[in-house]
Structure formats: C-alpha cells, structure tokens
Amino acid sequence: MARRAVVRLGIPALIVAALAVAALWRVGPPPREKPTGPVATSGTSPAKSITEPVKTIAEVMSNNAIGREASLEHVTIREMVGERFYWIESGDQKPVFVVLDPDVKRTTETTLRPGARVTLVGIVRPMPMSGQIEQQWHLPEAAAVVIAGSGTYLHVTEIRQ
C-alpha cells in the first residue's frame, strides 16, 4: 500500500520537476545590468560614449562617424549645389556636404541660402562614387567628382534655426 502511494504522488512530482527545469533552461539566466557611464577603453582618458551624437564638422568628416547621429549647431551654409544639396562650414574647418531628406522636418520656416546660420540634425553616411552621385542625385559630373572626394556626408532629417 505504501508503495502504491509513493508511485501515485512521486510520478506527478517528477513530471512537474522536469517541466520546471525545461522552462528555466529555455528562459535562461537573468540579464546583466548595463553600465551607465562612458564606455571603458584601454587609453588613459575616458572615451566619449559611441551613442553620443557628432557635434562638429571635423567629426562628420572622420570615417568612424559613419552611421552615427549628428547635431551640428549654428553652421553656415557656404554654397547651394541643388535644391536639396549644400556645402556647410563652421569656422576654419573644411566644408562638409549635406543632403536634405525629401521629408526633412523644419522647426521654423528657414530660408536656406548662402550665409544663413542653421542647426542641422541627421545621420553621417559614406559618400557614394561620383557615377552614383550623378544618377541618384542628378548632379553635374564636375560637381559629382568634387563631392565624391569628401568621403562622408550628412543626411539631414531636421533643420532648426
């Protein structure tokens, strides 16, 4: 009789235990907490967080800025190349090419003309080859060659005054 009671209670208990182990195995360990401070490097000074937006024209021109968000404040429009294409500058830094998104968000009615000072928000992208620039952006060959030499450009999604 005692053996029958053990079997009657033991088998369901083993099934429940096996299901619990299987469930815990599928869920996995709890996630680790992410560090809130800057990313550690092997250098002597703390590095900027990679998620921090690019803030200067010099940073836009570097290859490690590709894919990062940029927020360039109070830059000057140097030259208009087309309806959506501009060269911008800030101080003595080399000019950067910008392309306005067709659905660019404007916080104010800003007239984009040479000499205007604006704040541009967007994403740094690699510059296509000159042939692709001619086809995609419908720009003249001479302009496409000059633009292609810049390496990166800013794809603007928002314009602020």
* Rounded CA separation 70/64 (Å): 12
The whole-model pTM stands at 0.66
Q: Is residue 19 domain-shared with residue 91, that is, in the same domain?
A: no
| Structural domain contains residue 20 | yes
pLDDT at 157: 92
Q: Is residue 62 domain-shared with residue 23, that is, in the same domain?
A: no
Q: Is residue 15 domain-shared with residue 71, that is, in the same domain?
A: no
The more confident residue out of 46 and 85 is 85
Query: Is residue 98 predicted with pLDDT exceeding 90?
Result: yes
E strands, 6-151, are 69-82, 85-89, 96-106, 117-126
CATH code, domain with 134: 2.40.50.140
Query: Is residue 49 predicted with pLDDT exceeding 60?
Result: no
**Cα 57 from chain centroid?**
16
Q: What percent of the chain has pLDDT over 90?
A: 26
* Among 54, 66, 104, residue whose Cα is nearest residue 83: 104
| Structural domain contains residue 49 | no
- Overall domain count for the chain: 2
* Rounded CA separation 15/21 (Å): 10
Q: Is residue 70 domain-shared with residue 25, that is, in the same domain?
A: no
Q: Is residue 4 domain-shared with residue 71, that is, in the same domain?
A: no
Q: Is residue 143 domain-shared with residue 64, that is, in the same domain?
A: yes
* Among 51, 71, 49, residue whose Cα is nearest residue 60: 71
Q: Is residue 76 domain-shared with residue 149, that is, in the same domain?
A: yes
Q: Is residue 113 domain-shared with residue 69, that is, in the same domain?
A: yes
| Structural domain contains residue 52 | no
| Structural domain contains residue 48 | no
* Among 62, 91, 74, residue whose Cα is nearest residue 154: 62
DSSP H stretches of helix in the chain: 2-27, 57-60, 130-137, 141-148
| Structural domain contains residue 141 | yes
Average pLDDT over residues 71-85: 90
The more confident residue out of 3 and 67 is 67
* Rounded CA separation 5/71 (Å): 73
Q: Is residue 92 domain-shared with residue 136, that is, in the same domain?
A: yes
| Structural domain contains residue 113 | yes
| Structural domain contains residue 45 | no
pLDDT at 78: 92
Contacts of residue 136, defined as CB under 8 A and 6 or more positions apart, other chains included, come to: 128
C-alpha distances in Å from residue 63, one per residue of 58, 115, 159: 11, 27, 24
Q: Is residue 125 domain-shared with residue 80, that is, in the same domain?
A: yes
pLDDT, the chain, mean: 83
Domain residues for 17? 1-30
Q: Which residue, chain included where needed, has tokens 């496409």?
A: 144
* Rounded CA separation 128/151 (Å): 8
* Rounded CA separation 108/110 (Å): 6
